[in-house]
Amino acid sequence: MLMLDKLHILADSAKYDASCASSGSSRNVRGKLGKASVGGVCHSWSSDGRCVSLLKILMTNACIYDCAYCLNRRSNDIPRAMLSPDEICELTVEFYRKNYIEGLFLSTGIVKNADYTMELLIQTARKLRKEHNFSGYLHIKLIPGASEELIDILGRYADRVSVNIELPSQQSLSILAPDKKLDAILTPMKQVKESIDTYKAEKKTLRRAPLFSPAGQSTQLIVGATPESDMQILVLSSWLYKKVAMKRVYYSAYIPVNNDKNLPALPTPPLLREHRLYQADWLLRFYDFEPDELLSPANPNLATEVDPKTAWALAHLDRFPVEVNVADYNTLLRVPGIGVQSARRIIRSRKVKRLRYEDLNKLRVVLKRARYFITVHGRYHGDMACDEQLLFKRLATGFGSNVNSSLIQLDLFDSLFSDRHSVITGEL
Ligand code: SF4
């Protein structure tokens, strides 16, 4: 089979893996080929919204496992291909030299067993780093169940590693991915965290401390293939951020690619749910929210009509409006329309003057939301009372009973979902 044909098959097979964004690498680039800057490798987006900035391929789409949701499962009759470590190196270096890519995102199906597959990934990474002197970004998948030694070796070559958790519970894994065990997925995550901690500690005393996955680890969770609620998903994500120092959890709306009696019949991927989970995830990571502040056993799923921060504020109207000239940073951060950057700007600006309502726009406060939750010099600037029902109607993004949200493709600048600033910065 020609390399181009293999590439076509393996790049197509990799497109369902969303965990490929890159950032935070600090690999030494002097005298070497390629550079993954601290600010991250450039990204672009495919038509289905996935990141394609790196050469994103599978080493092979021939897999011995049979996960019900996966196109590459062994029971599917699809064209199969496999690239050798040398072929992957050749493609990566060639594409890099042509300026097509900034690095490589390499995932794979399982060949023979976990250790054998890891050894092939290690060979590829070693050749790229040692033989081709490649210092570009490498994001490589770890194979659950592989030996500690192999995980340790691969982590030394990669900028970022990831183990996909895929489904939020052991129960769901048992039904849809019977070859996988939650423990075998969490164990390498814990090992990676410990190795990164060791690397960071050594770096303080040793100038040439050996790198270990300097851009951390990430994972992917499929949303909508199993019955778990948003609350269960966010509790798991919160655990991953706190206990294994996960850099990112990528949520991937379930895309039906197989017919399987254990899979739900969804007309389209639940993209709006994915979008709300990303917003809630942002609140966990940067706004000090806990999952049980956003959701409860009685109300376990995020609202589709308003973003999670607005939903929280509407449920806690007794705490609003807050006076922007006196509220502390954490209180400001809870105001819909005031993000991390704008809260910092408000605190800084207040040191030199008392803020007027007109100043808030310049500080990038999103007044179309914030004005219902603040006062400036004691004056409320909303055009309606601070009432939960009224505000819900005003701030809802249009997904009422007569709109089928699952049929709407997210648009980068669609005002139905968010304002432009929020989309670009992620701030809420
Ligand atoms: S392990 Fe499961 S999800 Fe991964 S490639 Fe194989 S069948 Fe697909």
Provide mean pLDDT across the span 250-264.
Answer: 92
Q: Return the domain boundaries, the chain.
A: 3-221, 308-425
Q: pLDDT value at position 347?
A: 97
For ligand 1, what atom is nearest to the CA of residue 109? Answer: 5
- Which atom of ligand 1 is found nearest the CA of 61? 5
Ligand 1 centroid to 428 CA: how many Å? Answer: 35
| Pocket-testing residue among 19, 57, 59, 73, ligand 1, by greatest number of atoms within 8 A of Cβ | 73
What is the per-residue pLDDT across 375-400, written as a single tens digit (0 to 9) for each?
A: 999 999 999 888 899 999 999 975 43
Residue nearest atom 2 in ligand 1 by C-alpha distance:
67
Question: Mean pLDDT over all residues of the chain?
Answer: 86
pLDDT in tens, 45-64: 443 444 547 888 899 999 99
Pocket mutation for ligand 1, best pick of 67, 71, 175 (most atoms within 8 Å of C-beta): 67
Bigger pLDDT: 214 vs 17? 214
Render pLDDT for 402-413 as a digit per residue (tens, 0 to 9): 444 444 444 444
Q: How far is the CA of 360 from the centre of ligand 1 (A)?
A: 49
Q: Is the pTM of this model over 0.75?
A: yes
Digit-coded pLDDT (tens) for 15-24:
766 555 444 4
Residue with CA closest to ligand 1 atom 5? 109
CB 280 within 8 A of CB 426: no
Return the pLDDT at 405.
44
How many angstroms separate the alpha carbon of residue 61 from the centre of ligand 1? 8
CA separation for the pair 314, 317 (Å, rounded)? 5
From the CB of residue 390, how many other CB atoms can be counted at a distance below 10 Å?
13
* Residue type, position 176, single letter: L
| pLDDT bracket for residue 252 (50, 70, 90) | very high
pLDDT at residue 337 in the model: 96
**How remote is the CA of residue 327 from the centroid of ligand 1, in Å?**
50
Centroid of chain to Cα 173: 20
pLDDT for residue 34 = 58
pLDDT value, residue 410: 47
Best probe residue, ligand 1, of 69, 72, 162 (max atoms within 8 Å of C-beta): 72
pLDDT band at 43; cut points 50, 70, 90: low
For the stretch 95-116, pLDDT in tens is 899 888 888 999 999 999 999 9
Place of tokens 């590459």: 72
| Cα–Cα distance, 317 to 287 (Å, whole number) | 18
Query: Contact, 57 vs 89, CB < 8 A?
Result: no
What's the 298 CA to ligand 1 centre distance in angstroms?
34
Cα 37 to ligand 1 centre (Å): 31
What pLDDT band is residue 350 in, cutting at 50, 70 and 90?
Answer: very high
Q: How far apart are CA 114 and CA 110, in angstroms?
A: 6
% of the chain with per-residue pLDDT over 90: 70
pLDDT band at 181 (very low <50, low <70, confident <90, very high): very high
Query: Pocket residues for ligand 1 (CB within 6 Å)?
Result: 63, 65, 67, 70, 72-73, 109-110, 177
Distance from Cα 78 to the centre of ligand 1, integer Å = 14
CB contact set of 68 (below 8 Å; sequence gap of 6+):
175, 176, 177, 258, 260, 262, 263
pLDDT tier for residue 10 given thresholds of 50, 70 and 90: confident
Q: What pLDDT is attached to residue 261? A: 92
Six-digit token string for 134: 């490649």
CATH of domain 3-221: 3.20.20
Residue 231: its pLDDT value, please? Answer: 98
Distance 186 CA to ligand 1 centre (A): 17
